[in-house]
Amino acid sequence: MEHGFEHSFQVTAVNAAGESDFSEGAYARLQNGEVVGMRAILSGPREITVNWTPYPDANEYYVNYESRKEGHATRLDGEYISGTHYVFDNLECWRDYTIGVSAKTTSRRTMAESDNITIRTTCNPPDLTVKSYSDKLVASWAVDSAYASDTTYMLEWYKSGSSDHTSVSLPIRTSSYTIPATIPAVELRFGSKYYFKIRSINGTSQTPFSEIKAGTLLKQIKPSSARGYVNPGYGMDIYRSDLVLGDPELETYLPCSASIFVRNADGTWPVSENQRIWESDLRPLDMFGMSVSISSDTIVVGAPGKDRDGEVFGIGEQDNDGAVYIFKRNTDGSCPNNEILQVHSPTDAANEIFGKKVAIDDNTIVVAAPYQNNPHSHDGLVYVIERENSVADWPTTTTATLNPDVSQESAEFGSALAIDGDTIVVGSPHFADSDHGFFSSGLAYIFVKTSDGWHVTPTVTLHP
């Protein structure tokens, strides 16, 4: 007999003399069996996977669910399928779902039913972002529209190397949190890295923590001379605990300088400079400080707008050939306000901006003149100034000249410099790779020093 139908039964007595009338009918429905082995699991924050054991002779199954919040049904739904596996996805967060399975005949009459299982969904953790500023760290996240209105956030953070965690509970409408501005009692250490993670909570349910994100509390330092058109940090270099910032004045007729910052014993940096240094022959728009470099007790400052004849950049003949100033620090760490030596380009060419980039390592100084015509316009040259040892005087002129292996107009060879021991790297950012049709694709050149001195042409050429 077929499951799900009501059947009528009657009986009559029969012997040799005949048979009696049928009795009144009695009605009965074939009882359904039970779908066994049903299992429902939370396979994702908003996803439930259901599996069950096949039922004999079942043609298909009906998987149904009921969504409830605070005891009230909010949604009823179901799906006819032929297999024994089903996934409910894109469900609502923080909801109780009651799920059941029915085995069906070919006419979709019920043969058997499972027991119902109730399971609660969660949500994906918030997508966390941490940004670092000079006086604060800001954690922010996107508010998931699937979150229920009674959801809260738990934000937790801790300092690198510390086991002490700080946490705060935040309402659903919050999408960012600022430390330490939000809670002044929290004292963050400048330069330290802090790790953040966040989870959402609803009643007794909670998401996993988000991916951990890090932020470092930055400290803004600037020269006390900082004003409208000064550009602190245009030139910058660091050697151990000493930081040098160039302050080139690019748009007004105020003199330029460079600032020295010395890191404190506790590892922090002072807010303003420990000392400022100037060129001895101060002139406006020399661009003193456009490039700086420091190594041991020597500081090198480039002034590419310097005019050897005393003209001011942009006035008169505009012969801004440039200059480099060398400062030597005293044994107590202080530095004379003015240079011990001033070096000019050996060519005395107009507008070569000698000193736009400088670099120093021990007893070798490298100076770029990227606008030097060699022989093309703005193809550039790089000069080396070298002394014999750390106690010797610096020479008053350059000691070697480095050239690119291919001279090209406007390549600006020397726009970037680096030196380490007996190796110099020079950038030529506007070199055009004509073989491949690239404009300003750039090149970098490596120069090495041997027992015969510096190779004046590159040993290695690096292509992008």
In a domain, 10, yes or no: no
In a domain, 4, yes or no: no
Question: Under DSSP, is residue 38 helix (H, G, I), strand (E, B) or coil?
Answer: coil
27-41, 253-267, 375-389, 435-449: lowest mean pLDDT where? 27-41
In a domain, 24, yes or no: no
Residue 306 banded pLDDT, cuts 50, 70, 90: confident
Q: What is the DSSP string of 61-110?
A: EEEEEEEEETTEEEEEEEEEESSSEEEE-SPPTT-EEEEEEEEE-TT--E
Same domain, 113 and 132: no
Q: What is the sign of the dihedral through the CA atoms of 308, 314, 317 and 319? A: positive
Between residues 135 and 239, which one has the greater pLDDT? 239
Could you tell me the residue range of the domain that residue 167 belongs to? 128-216
Say how far apart CA 80 and CA 111 lie, in whole Å. 14
Contact 387, 396 (CB under 8 A): no
Give whole-number Cα distances, 315 to 100, 281, 308, 322, 378, in Å.
89, 17, 13, 15, 21
Q: Nearest 5°: phi and psi at 179?
A: -130, 130
In a domain, 436, yes or no: yes
Same domain, 69 and 163: no
Domain total of the chain: 3
Residues recorded for the chain: 464
* Per-residue pLDDT at 190 exceeds 90: no
Give whole-number Cα distances, 222 to 79, 227, 263, 272, in Å.
67, 10, 14, 6
Same domain, 342 and 419: yes
Dihedral class, residue 289 (left if φ above 0, else alpha if ψ from -120 to 50, else beta): left
pLDDT at 316: 39
pLDDT at 120: 84
* CATH code of residue 365: 2.130.10.130
Please name the residue that has the structure tokens 């004849």. 309
pLDDT at 235: 85
Say how far apart CA 68 and CA 148 lie, in whole Å. 13
* Per-residue pLDDT at 170 exceeds 80: yes
Lookup: tokens for 367: 């100076």
Output the CA angle 264-265-267, nearest 5 degrees: 70
Please name the residue that has the structure tokens 């953790």. 125
Same domain, 58 and 91: yes
Same domain, 274 and 394: yes
Same domain, 344 and 414: yes
Query: Which residue among 120, 154, 188 closes a domain?
Result: 120
* Per-residue pLDDT at 193 exceeds 60: yes
Say how far apart CA 288 and CA 418 lie, in whole Å. 20
In a domain, 222, yes or no: no
In a domain, 23, yes or no: no
* Per-residue pLDDT at 292 exceeds 90: yes
Contact 320, 306 (CB under 8 A): yes
Instruction: For residue range 112-158, list pLDDT tens digits in order.
Output: 888 899 988 888 888 899 998 877 889 999 877 766 677 888 999 88
Contact 126, 151 (CB under 8 A): no
* Per-residue pLDDT at 449 exceeds 50: yes
Say how far apart CA 380 and CA 4 lie, in whole Å. 94
Mean of pLDDT values over 61-84: 78
Query: Which residue among 164, 188, 216 closes a domain?
Result: 216
Mean pLDDT, the chain, rounded, equals 82
pLDDT at 186: 61
Query: What residues pair up with 19 in beta bridges, in sequence order?
Result: 14
Query: Which residue among 120, 138, 165 closes a domain?
Result: 120
Mean of pLDDT values over 46-52: 91
Residue 413 banded pLDDT, cuts 50, 70, 90: very high
Same domain, 211 and 311: no
Same domain, 401 and 441: yes
Nearest alpha-carbon partner for 261 in 275, 278, 277, 250: 275
Same domain, 97 and 150: no
Between residues 253 and 323, which one has the greater pLDDT? 323
Same domain, 443 and 300: yes
Same domain, 390 and 254: yes
Residue 86 banded pLDDT, cuts 50, 70, 90: very high
* Per-residue pLDDT at 2 exceeds 70: no
Residue 394 banded pLDDT, cuts 50, 70, 90: very high
In a domain, 71, yes or no: yes
94-103, 140-149, 218-227: lowest mean pLDDT where? 218-227
pLDDT at 63: 92
Q: What is the pTM of this model?
A: 0.62
What residues contact 387, with CB distance under 8 A and at least 6 apart? Answer: 363, 393, 394, 395
Tell me the longest C-alpha to C-alpha distance in the chain. Answer: 149
In a domain, 303, yes or no: yes
Contact 280, 244 (CB under 8 A): no
Mean of pLDDT values over 284-296: 89
* CATH code of residue 104: 2.60.40.10
Residue 230 has what DSSP assignment?
B
What residues contact 319, with CB distance under 8 A and at least 6 apart? Answer: 307, 308, 309, 311, 350, 351
Same domain, 110 and 156: no
* Per-residue pLDDT at 371 exceeds 80: yes
Q: Nearest 5°: phi and psi at 230?
A: -75, 145
What residues contact 327, with CB distance under 8 A and at least 6 apart? Answer: 277, 298, 299, 300, 301, 335, 336, 338, 339, 340
Nearest alpha-carbon partner for 82 in 97, 109, 110, 63: 63
